[in-house]
Chains A and B, each alone.
Chain A
Amino acid sequence: MCEFVIPGAQNTTVLVVGATSSIGRIVVRKLMLRGYTVKALVRNADQEVVEMLPRSVEIVTGDVGDPATLYAAVQGCNKIIYCATARSTISGDLYRVDQRGVYNLTKAFQDYNNKMAQLRAGKSSKSKLTLVKFKTPESVDGWEVRQGTYFQDVVASKYDGGMDAKFEFTFTGDAVFSGYVFTRGGYVELSKKLSLPLGRTLDRYEGLVLSVGGNGRSYILILEAGPSADTSQSKLYFSRFNTKAGFCRVRVPFSSFRPVKPDDPPLDPFLVHTLTLRFEPRRQKAVEGRTGVQQQDPRSFTLILEYIKALPTGQETDFVLVSCTGSGIEPNRREQVLKAKRAGEESLRKSGLGYTIIRPGPLKEEPGGQRALIFDQGNRISQGISCADVADICVKALHDSTARNKSFDVCYEYVADQGKELYELVAHLPDKANNYLTPALSALEKNT
């Protein structure tokens, strides 16, 4: 009967960051109408700000750029909606709010989750599971370096440069996998049977995150899955990932793994028992290295491994981030803005929290629910959107399992001039009576 009743709203505390922004203001009101407990993070709680917010909102003073102030903000929170953005396009501001701010908040939130879980003598269901951590010389034990070829090249074998690889713990404290493959169709790989902590299975996780550093090659991650008693029945699944020159964290969702034999069923993370990291000289891109550095031979590689962790799975999104598509920003600053926003998005994806990243078109200050919306991925949208519609998506996404771990663009439906319509668009009209979000998002790619 009542369109504002949301099951679970009573027991949910939402932290709204940027509660005084054009979207945040409406988000706060919408949450209050639906019976959520709302905390608002503001930079200074002066009279003007306090009057702008409903009185039952708990106001926390803090700054996303200052991690120390965030621990009070995340106390008791179940979910976060981040609609803050830098007030200027100065790089320093952008870095502090849009990039570092998101990272700081995800970290504070995860720390809080872990602390709460420890109080209950358990592990947070949102915390990542460390599969391997290369910190000690012993940690490289048990990893097996192998080499092989995809095909036998009779002609070229005469000129075969050979291949070699090693995995060692250096005196600087890094576990380094390095080598070269000059043989055509050759590859080298690093493999180990996984030993999960007692009572842990990978089916409660939805992907892997690797912290690696190196010279920017791409690698193939191979998971061997099957009954661990009989390895002959194991099936192989692979997924390719790219690294950057320098250190980076790579997210590899289980859903991105494809069976080596196309007929095999999709990967069941529960059955995974062996992890393999393979390097092959095929399909290596030239690294966008610093200018002046001599171009390296793409057939050689160095990879410093720091850790491999599993990302937890879940039903709902924990962190809704309002990003942007880049249209509507003044062209000469667009690069910088987008760079900071993308970096912020990236740190959220790697955090292990369930995330929803909304990239609205240019914002308009007008009432929502008037025009049909287009949900899309791939930066193809052209229209604006009202702040109220973005706020509605934020609030709806909190309890929508189809919104978890998705990034999407959203804007108004493009309305062609009379008589110039090319085709009919299938769009979603936002209305409180119908749930437009689920059907709209279920068509979109996950883990984006």
Chain B
Amino acid sequence: MKESIDGERVKLMTRMASFEANEGKEAIRICNYFRSDYVCLNVVRAIVSATLSYFLIMALYVYYNIDRLLQDIYTMDIMAMGRKLITAYVVFAGAFGIIAYVVYSFRYDWAKKNLSDYNYALRELLNMQDVNNG
């Protein structure tokens, strides 16, 4: 004989399916990583983004001031200029890395919390099935 539809189970499965289709997609993807791996990977990506942005800004600055720079190239202290540029880069990329660390740590914690709620619902569903199967 065919079993009838259990309303409570459908509600639970609907909520779970909805979670999987929406915010759960991101949460499941994030929780595939260990916390340290996820945060490190994104900090590295942020630093790469910051590096590209820094070089882009520098390229614009150099091109904008090309006449003055070419004029002063023989008189300027190249070493001091180099130190300044490297310090600026370290501060810029470092600040970006720290922001990324905070943001992605927060995102991982959010995903972990969401997924633990989902796992709880999953256990509840298995219990329902066990009860139905006797």
A pairs with B:
no
